[in-house]
Each structure stands twice: as C-alpha cells, then as structure tokens.
Chains A and B, each alone.
Chain A
Amino acid sequence: MRGAKIALVFVYILFLMLPIYWLLNMSFKTTNEILGGFSWYPQEFTLASYKTIFTDSTWYNGYINSLTYVLMNTVISVSLALPAAYAFSRYRFLGDKHLFFWLLSNRMAPPAVFVLPFVELYSALNLFDTPFAVALAHCLFNVPLAVWILEGFMSGVPREVDETAYIDGYSFPRFFIKIFMPLIAAGIGVTAFFCFMFSWVEMLLAKNLTSVAAKPIVAVMTRTASTAGYELGLLAAAGALTLIPGVIVIWFVRKHIAKGFALGRV
C-alpha cells in the first residue's frame, strides 16, 4: 500500500518533469542538432541560445516588459483588494452577495471575448502599447481572485481582534495596517503569488495590447517562431528562462502553498 502510494507520486512527478526535461535538453542543443534527429541528451552541448537572449535587447527587453506589467498588476490587485475583502468579510451591505458574484463572474469571462474591445478601450485611453494597459487589463481576472482569496483568509481572523483594537482607540487605517495586515501576512503573500502567476502566464491579452515598446516575452517568442525560420534552440532557451520567475515565487510561498490553493477556505 505504502509502496504503491510512493510509486504513484513518483510516476506523476516524472510525467510532469519529462516535457520540462525535453525543453531544457533542447535549449542546450544547436537548432541543427534538434532538427537532425532524436537524442536523449545534447551531443554538442552549447550555451549559444542563452547567450543570444542575454545579449539581444529585443529578447531581454521582452522579459523586462513582462515582469514590469506583472509586478504592477500584482501591486494594484492586492492593494485594491485588501479593503474590499475586509468589507466582504466583516460587513453586510446593500447588494453585497450580488456584488461578490458579479466580481467573480469576471474571473469567468473568456479573455477571447475581451481582446477586441480591450484594444479599443486602451487605445482610447492612450495606454495602448504600455505596461499599464496590460497591468490594468489583467485586473479583470486578478482583482476578483485577490478579493476571493483575501476574504477567505480574513474570515479566519476572529472579530474580537477588530473590536479590541477599536476599544484601544485605533483608527481604522492604523488598525488595518498595524494590526490586521500582519495577521494575514501569509494570505497577502499567497494572494500576491496568485496574481503574479495568472498575470505571468496569460498571453492573449498581453500580446494584443502591446505592439513594439512594451512587447512581452511571449510575443517576442511568437515572432521568432514565425519569422526567423523556426529557431528551435532559441525558442527552447527562451521558454526555459520563463520558468525561473515561477520557481522563485513558488519557493517563497512553499510553506503556505497548500492552504493558499484552497483560497484560505480550509
């Protein structure tokens, strides 16, 4: 029984790692070798693809652009969602339940529906091709998600905490920043993680809301795939590099990840 369990987890993780191994494997090959045939590991190990990415400004700017809008979006989403989540977790007010569902329903809107209107909207606001456009557009699904997660964590904090603070003469902003936020620090971390994750992996909106100046890495990759005659080695290296931010953030929240994925509702 125990052996079977370990085997299942092992096989599952192996299954997850194989495509990633293949990506890394290719990123260290030359494009000729990749197209030349099947091989388990690079015959002529090369770092040339990585070198190109780190020296060509189109490539590394792609990463910088992506990280810029992702970080902006994370900051906007979390800071706006904090007071809203507090309101939902502590108070009843006119239309609260409907509002909550309406917010969530935006997490359900297929991005494909919004591509065209978003381009028009952000062009009209003069934000097209800036990181702001993507950061704000990603708020469509990240803000509701942030409210949802934070509300879960906040509901786990007893109301007495609030009441004691008010009796001690704390004003609302001071109470919120000095007492309440440290109590849900793990929840804030997990929320930031989720916002980062969903903004980082989304590409349909990011690609269509930018053209030259703020082009995200995913768009740079698509271009390479289509015009430069399918440079597989380069594409694989660029893909492998997109794994790094994810690995870093996940390492930071690894202790809270299980609870975080339950959106604080366990």
Chain B
Amino acid sequence: MITKTVNQKAWFLVLPVLLIVALNAIIPLMTVVNYSVQDTFSPGVFFFEGTKWYKDVLSSPRFHGALGRQFLYTAIILAIEIPLGVLVALAMPRKGPWVSVCLVLMALPLLIPWNVVGAMWNIFALPDIGLLGYGLNWLGFDYNYTQQPVSAWMTVVLMDVWHWTSLVVLLAYAGLSSIPDAYYQAAKIDGASSFAVFRYIQLPKMKRVLIIALLLRFMDSFMVYTEPFVLTGGGPGNSTTFLSIDLVKAAIGEFNLGIAAAMSILYFLMTLLVCWVFYTAMMRGEES
C-alpha cells in the first residue's frame, strides 16, 4: 500500500482531464436537464413545465415496460456470463503457448464494432440462411427471431453472452494468474479437494477482479443499445425494446424532447445509484 502525501497542487495535473470531461459531461447534461423541465412549440420558444415530463414518464406503461425488460435482461446476462466466465477461466491452461492463442481468440468478439456484432447475428440467426437459425429448425425447434418474442429474447441474450463473456474470462484469468504456485503446492500437500482450492484460494484472489467484471457488465448491459437494435430493432412488437432503444426512439424517432430528456435523467440516476453502491463496496474491500 502506497502512502499518499497531501498536495493540493495535484489539482493542476488533474485539470486537463477535468476540463475535457466537463465539456462532454456537464454541458450536455445541463442541456438534458433544460429539456426535461421545458416544452416547446416552435424553435427557440420554450415554456417552463416543471416536473410534468417526469410525472408523464413515471406513470407511462411504456417506460415501465422498457424498465422491466431492461432489468430482466441485465439479470439474465449477469447470471449467465459471470459463472460461465469464471468456469472457462478456471479451465484455461495456466502456462504454455496455448495461453496466448486462447486469449487472442477469446478477445476477438470484444473488438468487433457493436453494429457489426448485431448485423452478424442478424444473419447468423436467420432461419433460412443462418447457421444458428437453420440448425435449430433442423433440430426440430420452431425458431424464428423476427416473429416470436421468445426466440428474439433468446437470440439477444445468446448474442450478448457471445460478445461479452470473454471480458469476464479475461478478468478472472488475470486474477487467477496472480496466485503463486506455492499456494497450489501447499493445498496439494494438505490434500485439499479441488472445490476447497477454488473456495479458499482461487475465489478470494479473484474477488477484486470479479467485482470489476460485475461493475463493467452491469453498466454495459444496462445501457445496451446498438447490438439488440441492429439485431431485432426492438421487436417483434416491443418485446426487445430496452431502455436505450426506447430513449432513442422517443428523442430522435418521435422528437419528444421533454419525455426523452426526463427519461434520460431518470435512467442516468439509476445507473449512477447502482454503480455508487458497487463502487463503495469495492473501495471498502480494497481498504480492508
């Protein structure tokens, strides 16, 4: 642990970062706040509306629907990706030439532009010409993601698992590779079972990186937009319309600025709240 000295001049080192992030964060956020309390009938003419938009949003079934779907989606994603990622990381070889090969291949999906991911799965899952869709129908499943909400959900979840599980694998693997060999040898001498090794050696060492994984996967899945939008366009019907998709629809598609802005603020506050809880937990874990 490094002891830090108090030095107020350190602010000068932070200043450039502060300015550029403030330009990108505070000005746009204030614009959104402005929109969220005003109404307009012609360009440049605004009326103060107070909390009207917020009340509208909070009482609209459409928002409740999108919010519900968003939480369900994030919960499913986390429940699959975190355990699967840990399992794969545990199964990875720890040394040798295969490590690099595995890591590079696994990292590949992370580096594909998100709309290409969507487009790729869009075709991959088509029932007539895509490998996944064709294969499932050949196996006797009635699968068509453009028509059936259940199939659409399955595809969206499978795509996210494909896209992001590797992030969890890489993080967990980083945690595992920091365990000295001596720990394993000691466990062997003690005759510890492989579950005991996992529970008392590997899991505690992975704790910190797993919290980072959880934090990153929560944030990113909670604001997911591009991939499901390109894959399903939010359909069939509204079945895969998540918060971001609904938001962009309201703001750009329907030009409902007030509603969209109020939604933005609520959305941002929710993400912030959850992340603050995670972050506090993480920092507490780090200090102890």
- Chain A interface (Cβ within 8 Å of chain B)? 1, 4-6, 8-9, 12-13, 15-20, 22-23, 26, 34-35, 37-38, 76, 80-81, 83-84, 86-94, 96, 99, 101, 103-118, 120-121, 136-137, 139-140, 143-144, 147, 155, 158-159, 197, 200-204, 208, 217-218, 221-222, 225, 232, 235-236, 239, 242-243, 245-247, 249-251, 254-255, 257-263, 265-266
A-B contact pairs, 13 of them (CB 8 A): A37-B128, A93-B7, A107-B219, A108-B271, A110-B244, A113-B267, A113-B268, A121-B31, A222-B115, A239-B120, A261-B171, A262-B174, A262-B175
* CB–CB B252/A116 < 8 A: yes
CB pair A80–B174 under 8 Å, yes or no, is no
- A137 and B23 alpha carbons, distance in the complex (Å): 9
- B257 CB-CB contact with A under 8 Å: yes
Q: Answer whether A246 and B112 are a contact pair too, CB < 8 Å, given A8-B91, A117-B28, A265-B212.
A: yes
B interface residues with partner A (beta carbon < 8 Å)? 2-11, 13-14, 16-18, 20-21, 23-25, 27-29, 31-32, 87-88, 90-93, 100, 102-116, 119-121, 123-124, 128-132, 134, 162, 165-167, 170-171, 173-175, 177-178, 194, 208-209, 212, 219, 222-223, 225-226, 243-245, 247-248, 251-252, 257, 260, 264, 267-268, 271-272, 275-276, 279
In the complex, how many angstroms separate the beta carbon of B1 from the nearest chain A beta carbon?
A: 9
Given contacts A19-B132, A113-B247, 8 further A-B contacts (CB under 8 A): A13-B105, A83-B14, A91-B6, A110-B244, A116-B31, A204-B226, A239-B120, A259-B174
Other-chain residue from B11, B108, B248, B257 in contact with A112 (beta carbon distance below 8 A): B248
> Could you say which residues of chain B place their CB within 8 Å of the CB of A114?
24, 28, 32
A96 vs chain B, min Cβ distance (A)? 8
Q: Which of A88, A208, A250 contacts B104 (CB 8 A)?
A: A250
Main secondary structure of the interface of B (DSSP, over half): helix
Q: Given that A80-B16, A93-B10, A116-B257 are known contacts, is A221 also in contact with B119, CB under 8 Å in the complex?
A: yes
Given the interface contacts A103-B17, A117-B27, does A155 sit within 8 Å of B2 by beta carbon?
A: yes
Q: Which among B3, B13, B29, B121 is the interface contact of A84 at CB below 8 angstroms?
A: B13
B17 near A80: Cβ-Cβ < 8 Å: yes
Cβ of B104: which chain A residues have Cβ within 8 Å of it? 247, 250-251, 254, 257
Q: Is the CB of A83 within 8 A of B16?
A: yes
**A225 touching B13, Cβ below 8 Å:** no
Residue of A nearest to B20 (CB): A139
Partner of A9, one of B27, B102, B119: B102
Chain B residues contacting A203 (CB-CB under 8 Å) are 113-115, 226
B260 touches A116 (CB 8 A): yes
Closest-CB distance, A64 to chain B (whole angstroms): 15
User: Least Cβ distance of A117 to chain B in Å?
Assistant: 3
B251 A90 Cβ-Cβ under 8 A:
no
Q: Of all chain B residues, which has the CB nearest A106?
A: B25
Closest CB in chain B relative to A217 CB, distance in Å: 8
A114 to B247, CA, bound (A): 11
A116 to B174 alpha-carbon distance, docked (Å):
38
Indicate if the CB atoms of B275 and A108 lie closer than 8 Å.
Answer: yes
Residue of B nearest to A239 (CB): B116
How far, in whole Å, are A61 and B3 apart by their CA atoms in the complex? 50
CB distance from A244 to the nearest CB of B (A): 10
Are the C-beta atoms of A92 and B6 separated by less than 8 Å? Answer: yes
Q: Do the beta carbons of B120 and A246 come within 8 Å of each other?
A: no
The winner among B119, B124, B209 for most chain A CB atoms within 10 A is: B119
B123 near A13 with CB under 8 A, answer: no
**Once the chains are docked, how many angstroms separate the CA of A103 from the CA of B244?**
22
Residue of A nearest to B177 (CB): A258
Closest to B159 in A: A19
10 nearest A-B pairs in the assembled complex, by CB-CB distance: A246-B111, A117-B28, A110-B223, A262-B174, A5-B91, A87-B13, A117-B31, A91-B10, A87-B10, A261-B170
The one of B27, B28, B120, B272 in contact with A22, judged by C-beta atoms closer than 8 angstroms, is B120
The answer to whether A139 touches B24 (Cβ under 8 A) is: yes
**How far in angstroms is the closest Cβ of chain B from A224?**
10
Please pick, from A16, A35, A99, A121, the residue contacting B109 in the complex, using a CB distance under 8 A.
Answer: A16
